[in-house]
Amino acid sequence: MHTIKDLQVKVSEIFDSRDYMSAPSELYEPIQYSLSQGGKRLRPLLSLMSCSLYGGDLDEVKNAAIGLEIFHNFTLLHDDIMDESPLRRGMPSVYHKWDANTAILSGDTMFVVAYEYITDTNPNILIDTLKVFNTTAREVCEGQQYDMNFETQKVTSIDDYMEMIRLKTAVLIAAALKIGAIAARASKEEQLRIYEFGILIGLAFQLRDDFLDAFGNEKTFGKPIGNDIVTNKKTYLYLKAYQLANKETKLKLDSAFAIEDKKQKVKEVLSLFEELNIREITEEKITEMYNQSKQLLKEVDRPEEEKSEMYTFLMKLIKREV
Amino acid sequence: MHTIKDLQVKVSEIFDSRDYMSAPSELYEPIQYSLSQGGKRLRPLLSLMSCSLYGGDLDEVKNAAIGLEIFHNFTLLHDDIMDESPLRRGMPSVYHKWDANTAILSGDTMFVVAYEYITDTNPNILIDTLKVFNTTAREVCEGQQYDMNFETQKVTSIDDYMEMIRLKTAVLIAAALKIGAIAARASKEEQLRIYEFGILIGLAFQLRDDFLDAFGNEKTFGKPIGNDIVTNKKTYLYLKAYQLANKETKLKLDSAFAIEDKKQKVKEVLSLFEELNIREITEEKITEMYNQSKQLLKEVDRPEEEKSEMYTFLMKLIKREV
């Protein structure tokens, strides 16, 4: 078993020693730019953590872990085109720094590079790893489509929202853990357990993101507060508020979300959220997921101490304390 | 050994029996639309032909062949965005019928589906198949980038052009043949030989495309004649003309390519092409490739009769007679 600190160092080493440049430079420079920006590199870390938890050899999961991170960055390149996002990790997005065509084609190439790394997995576990990766990649695309659909849909249920964030965010976190378990030759049952654990962690992570956008602290959150409110984004908080509001409050929500002045808008919406107890309800929902995930981890057949280090880290991560 | 006719029927059966619909429909309808348009389905046919030539079991190559065709269609979806093409196979392109975001995300999903089919290959030959597929996919992206670079470059050499069409077009044709050979458990040497053969066929196919755009017959070519001239596309003919022209003729070419009236432009450019013997020079270049490919096929260790049926078919294909 390695400490989380060890694994973080290992992830940094893996990425810092790599260069993605090749010819033509117009294609590979944006890839190099995207992958050198760093970010949390959460997914490879999760793969290494899971492999280590199950007593595996980290070299067996290394390449697949790199593949997962490159895949994740590929989705960001394409998402930024679709969402017209000028920024990514506080820097100009590839879409904005270059153009849409560059983000399309460099993104496609990153997708291939991700598969090249996955392919470079021990043949004994290649098919299992590939299948998890394929299924996950397809689901992430489906999640992005549902997310785009929601923008134009008049009514979105909370169930549909949870399914969307499961596909768009949670499955890749769960897959990262499962691929680590596969690399460590954990049993099918354990693979499934750590996957389900990852789904809960992923959902909690996204709900916490929704929560922090409204009730967070700009410094620890790392993004401006209230952005989801300003853009009328259908978050868990938004949907819950409309679900719980009576006719009169619904009209108030409509008015608040229609306010032009950004500051005023955020203030009014937050006050309605408080009135409807959205803060407590969301926290409760997240806690419910914590408890479920804790229960699942309890069943994982590994030493308590090792599980607890991982869990503590993940809790901090969800709370944006790491 | 199967006849080409048998294999064509088999390819049709494979594709006609498949449905790509799933949820969300916004994501999968464009995929279904793209894959049901048919087209020549040349790449899966080549895989089956090569597998059959080397005496293999077609079931061993079937899924990879489907993967190649889906991959090819994925590249068309994204190329049509980058090239702003409203039409594909005489029908509205996905980009035009829906929008760029749809073409991006449905395209990405097709790329995953292609990998799902590749993954569903006999584990004994999976890694070899995957590696060919990965390398080819990356090269096709590089080819598209070079093609886009050429649009804004002032000077492009013929060598660079040949390298671009090798990457953009020929490697996928060569890979289709190689994957068939891998499925038939042909030797590494034979795999390489049929790959090199495919490169020559692919290059000849593209040069013939360039040729027919200028000197072809609209009916057999299936596209309007002179389109490359109208759009000032840097084809083999264009580059060769500028390479051979003296100062005076270069100025004439410049003037001709600057003509506004499309009909007049095509007429003037064609007359300069004839003056520079571009027709004969291009035909000669294609013939040179035929001869090289024939030489390679001679060395393939299979019965003459079977090789000759394949070759005759490919020659017809290049001449757009099938």
Q: Which pLDDT does position A155 carry in this prediction?
A: 87
Residue whose C-alpha is closest to residue B111's, from A127, A105, A19 = A105
**CATH fold match for the domains B1-169 and B187-322:** yes
The pLDDT of residue B37: 86
The pLDDT score that the predictor gives to residue B39 is 81
Quick check: A210 and A318 in contact, CB under 8 A? no
Write the secondary structure of chain B as one string of H (helix), E (strand) and C (coil).
Answer: CCCHHHHHHHHHHHHHCCCCCCCCHHHHHHHHHHHHCCCCCHHHHHHHHHHHHCCCCHHHCHHHHHHHHHHHHHHHHHHHHHCCCCEECCEECHHHHCCHHHHHHHHHHHHHHHHHHHHCCCHHHHHHHHHHHHHHHHHHHHHHHHHHHHHHCCCCCHHHHHHHHHHHHHHHHHHHHHHHHHHCCCCHHHHHHHHHHHHHHHHHHHHHHHHHHHHCCHHHHCCCCCHHHHCCCCCHHHHHHHHHCCHHHHHHHHHHHCCCCHHHHHHHHHHHHHHCCHHHHHHHHHHHHHHHHHHHHHHCCCCHHHHHHHHHHHHHHHCCCC
Give the lowest-confidence range in A15-19, A200-204, B194-198, B230-234: A15-19
In CATH terms, the superfamily for domain B1-169 is Farnesyl Diphosphate Synthase (1.10.600.10)
pLDDT digits (tens, 9 = 90+) for B113-152: 999 999 999 999 999 999 999 999 999 999 999 999 999 9
Q: What is the Cα–Cα distance from A181 to A193, expressed in whole angstroms?
A: 10
Å between B254 CA and nearest CA of chain A? 28
* Backbone phi and psi for residue B83, each to the nearest 5 degrees, phi listed first: -90, 0
Which of A26, A71, A74, A105 should one mutate to test binding to chain B, selecting the residue with the greatest count of B CBs within 10 A? A105
Tell me if chain B has a CB within 8 Å of the CB of A166: no
The yes/no answer to whether this complex scores an ipTM above 0.90 is yes
Residue A221 has pLDDT above 90, yes or no: no
Amino acid B17: pLDDT: 86
> Quick one: pLDDT at residue A247?
97
Between chains, do B111 and A116 touch, taking CB under 8 Å as contact? no
Q: Which of A111, A126, A127 sits opposite B111 (nearest CB)?
A: A111
- Successive 10-residue mean pLDDT values, chain B, 322 residues: 92 90 96 90 97 97 98 97 92 96 98 98 98 98 96 92 98 98 98 98 96 88 86 96 97 97 97 98 96 95 92 90 74
Q: pLDDT confidence of A231, banded at 50, 70, 90?
A: very high
CB spacing of A119 vs B113 below 8 angstroms:
no
Cβ contact, residue pair B105, A144, below 8 Å? yes
- Percentage of chain A lying above the pLDDT 90 cut: 89
Report the mean per-residue pLDDT for chain A: 95
Site from B81, B84, B101, B125 to mutate, A interface, most A CB atoms within 10 angstroms: B101
Give the DSSP letter of residue A166: I
**Domain boundaries along the sequence of chain B:** 1-169, 187-322
How far is B167 from B160, CA to CA, in rounded Å? 11
Q: What pLDDT is stored for residue B321 in this prediction?
A: 77
Q: Which fold has domain A1-186?
A: Farnesyl Diphosphate Synthase (1.10.600)
- Global pTM exceeds 0.80: yes
Q: Is B126 on the interface with A (CB under 8 A)?
A: yes
Whether residue B123 lies within 8 A of chain A, CB to CB, comes out as yes
Amino acid symbol at B24 = P
Residue A201: per-residue pLDDT: 96
Can the peptide bond before residue B24 be classed as cis, meaning omega within 30 degrees of 0?
yes
What is the band of A40 on the pLDDT scale with cuts at 50, 70, 90?
Answer: confident
Across the A:B interface, residue pairs with CB atoms under 8 Å apart total 98
Confidence of residue A312 (pLDDT cuts 50, 70, 90): very high
Domain B187-322 maps to which CATH number in 3.30.43.10, 3.40.640.10, 1.10.600.10, 2.60.40.1930? Answer: 1.10.600.10
Q: Does B206 touch chain A (CB under 8 A)?
A: no
Total length of chain B? 322
What's the confidence (pLDDT) of residue A39? 81
CA A133 to chain centre: 15
Q: Report how far apart the first and last C-alpha atoms of chain A are (Å, whole number).
A: 21
Average pLDDT value for residue range A71-89: 95
